[in-house]
Each structure stands twice: as structure tokens, then as C-alpha cells.
Amino acid sequence: MRLATFNVENMFERPKAMNLDTWADGKDVLDDFSRLNQLIQEPVYSDKIKAELIAIMKRNKGLLTVGQSKFIRLYDIRGKFLRKPRNKPVEIAAAGRGDWLGWFKLIPETVKEAATKNTARIIGLLKTDILCVIEAENRIVLKKFNEGVMPMVDLEPFPHVMLIDGNDERGIDVGIMTKKQYNIVRMLSHVDDKDDKDTIFSRDCAEYEIKTEKGNTLLLLVNHFKSKGYGKPAESAEKRYRQAKRVRALYNAHINAGYDYVTVLGDLNEIPDEYPMDPLIREGSTLTDIMAHPKFENDGRPGTHGNGTKSAKLDYILMSPKLSEKVIRGGVERCGVWGGEKGTLFPHLPEIVSKVDAASDHAALWVDVDI
């Protein structure tokens, strides 16, 4: 059977600020968005908090005056967040979180149809029995993509589609699609897992227990760790470490409970050499990444994102010892990525004629296992 993971970077809609040429282009907006939603949760809006809210909204043109900038929209549902006195600057009217109902939301834009179809084409090239999907909007969207777009490029839809909404309000959740003979028999969300600091998972560590065609049990821990794209690097790295530490604890518990075939997979947003990966590939871990497996078909590029450089190894299929023993072969599928400035670094789909047509900035990883 074949197992794959693919960060599709949304099916139909994606926040504008996350769909720019580079992550750096949208970093300031994403930082502002995150900070705004953090500040408005405070029970009391001190003068300092109000001043920071006003300052952030001012630098996002239109947000303070008309409630919408190019990338962020204010939803003021009930109560009153802002006050606009005549001939005076706009003020924060609410005294705290309890005074109003509302939030800030990233403004989405439609993903180009060609890119959506190319995402389906890459899934077709994978020929996988179980596909872990990273950055899908929600289950309904994933189901519509499966039933509507897959047939448009002459592909048969997956019979089973599942996604549990995670903690990220931007619509970048993790899910799975499986073929008929690979039934989902159990699923468990970890959206509420906390440590001594706060909620652990940015999205989720979704558990899916699959019964394979041969009658074996395969346990998937599907992840999308904290992004490197925005926030303070040290804080983001610490968050990924906390996430990896929790996943390691879950993995150990399942192995101790008698599960033989366990995999931790998805977009972990970290390279192997950095400390956030220590709990998963060092510190006595028994997990093996498919790209480090002797049966991996290496294409000469060690990364999975963008140009596939060493510093862009972000996606993983980490396998328990008994699952690793069952590996037949593994590989990386880059044909959905626009490699290099001119798209000439490696082959891509003929339907990809420019960067905006790319299925994703991520390559897909796959492994064949005899279970």
C-alpha cells in the first residue's frame, strides 16, 4: 500500500496575505493579524492596549477608518468596538472583551482554477491509497474538491474523506483521504492539548486509525507545526519544540499500548538539524524519516519546499521501527512545484506555465509499505 503527505496550500480559497510571492511579503500583515486577535481577548483594554490596537489598525490602511484593509477585515457583530467622534481621531470604545462581540479575519482570495486542477493532477500522480492533506480549508471543501475537481482531470475520487477542524482560524487544517479498502476506524483530535505554557498545537495533531486491505492497523498522527513564516523566530521554534515533544509522548504511548505500525507525518515546518526536531528524531526516538531510509529514491534534492534545498526540508513521514521494516520504497513528487525563478530547476506538470499555476510550494512525500 502507498501512503503520502501533501501540503496542498488550500483548495479553493486562501488568505491574500498567505498567497503573495514569498512568505516575507505577508509576514508583517500576519504578525499584525495575530497580535490584533490576541489583544482583543484581554478582559480589560488598558490605555496601553488601546494604543497598540489603534497603532496596528492605522498601519493597515483602511482598517481603522472603514473596518477593512487589503488583507484584514474587522467583524464588529454586537456591542461597539470603535468610536468615531466628530472631528477627532477614532477611539477604542470597548472597555474589554466582554463589551463587544467580534473579531478580525484575514480576507481570502480565490485560488486560481489551474492551480486547483494541478493539485488534483499531483494527487493522481501519487497513486496513493492513503493521502494526508495539509492546509485544506475544511472537510466540506475537501469533499467538494474530491468529488468535483478530481473527475475534471479524469481521476476517481477517494471514497473516504475526513478532516477535523483545528485551532487555526485561517482555514489551513489537516485531513485524510483514503481508498475504499482502507477504512477509517477511529479518529481523535488533540486541539485542546495544553502544557504549562498554553495550547500546544497551532492546528492539530489529528489521529487516524486505518484498517488496511491486509487487515493490519495503521495509526497516523497527522501534523502541521507552527509556521516559520511569521512571528518571532525564537518563539516559533520553541512552539515547534513543544509540539514535537507532545507528539513524541503520544507516539511513545501508542507504541507502549501495542501499536506496531505508527507514523508521524505532515508539514513540521522545521529542518532536521534544528532543536525543535530533537524529540522526534533524536533524544532516543525510534522514528525513521522516509527521506533517511535506505530504500528512499533520492532525487538529489534534500528539501521538500520550494527549490528543495537542505534548508527547505519541512515535510516528513516518520515511521515506527516495525513500519520502517516494511518499507518497499519511497520518494518525493516535485512536479507540482515551480522550481526556481523560471521554473527550470526540475520537471513540472506541462499544465504549469507560470508560478501561479503551481499546485503548491511543497513537494509531496510518499512511501510504499507491505502492511
Q: What is the DSSP letter of 227?
A: P
Q: Residue 190: what pLDDT?
A: 98
pLDDT of amino acid 10: 76
What is the arithmetic mean of pLDDT over 171-197? 95
- CA–CA distances in Å: residue 55 to residues 27, 37, 74, 96: 17, 14, 15, 17
> Which pLDDT score, from 0 to 100, does residue 12 have?
67
6/314 Cα distance (integer angstroms):
11
Q: Which residue has the higher pLDDT, 195 or 14?
A: 195
Residue 13 has a pLDDT of 73
Q: What's the grid cell of residue 308?
A: 528543495
> What is the enclosing helix (H) or strand (E) of 180?
none
Residues of the chain above pLDDT 70, percent: 99
Write the pLDDT tens digit of every residue in 276-322. Answer: 999 999 999 999 999 999 999 999 999 999 999 999 999 999 999 99
**What share of the chain has pLDDT > 90, as a percent?**
82
* CB count in 10 Å sphere of residue 160: 17
The structure's pTM equals 0.81
What's the confidence (pLDDT) of residue 362?
A: 97
Residues whose CB is less than 8 angstroms from the CB of residue 172 and which lie 6 or more positions away in sequence, other chains included: 10, 18, 134, 135, 136, 137, 203, 224
Unique residue bearing C-alpha cell 498567505:
18
- Residue 163 CA to residue 242 CA, distance in Å, equals 23
Q: What 3-state class would DSSP assign to 20?
A: coil
CB-facing half-sphere around the CA of 70: CA atoms within 13 A: 12
Question: Contact 70/61 with Cβ under 8 angstroms?
Answer: yes
User: What's at 304, amino acid-wise?
Assistant: T
Average pLDDT value over all residues in the chain? 94
Q: Are 251 and 323 in contact (CB under 8 A)?
A: no
* pLDDT at position 24 over 90: no
**Residues facing residue 205 across a β-bridge:** 223
Q: % helix / strand / coil in the chain, to the nearest 5?
A: 30, 25, 45
- What is the model's pLDDT at position 108? 85
Q: What is the pLDDT of residue 228?
A: 83
pLDDT tens, residue by residue, 63-122: 998 999 999 999 998 889 999 888 889 999 999 999 999 999 999 877 778 999 999 999
Q: How far apart are CA 35 and CA 32, in angstroms?
A: 5
Check pLDDT > 70 for residue 252. Answer: yes
Among the residue ranges 18-32, 122-136, 233-247, the one predicted with the least confidence is 18-32
What's the rounded mean pLDDT across residues 324-343? Answer: 97
In the prediction, which pLDDT does 191 show?
Answer: 96
Cell of 369: 509499505
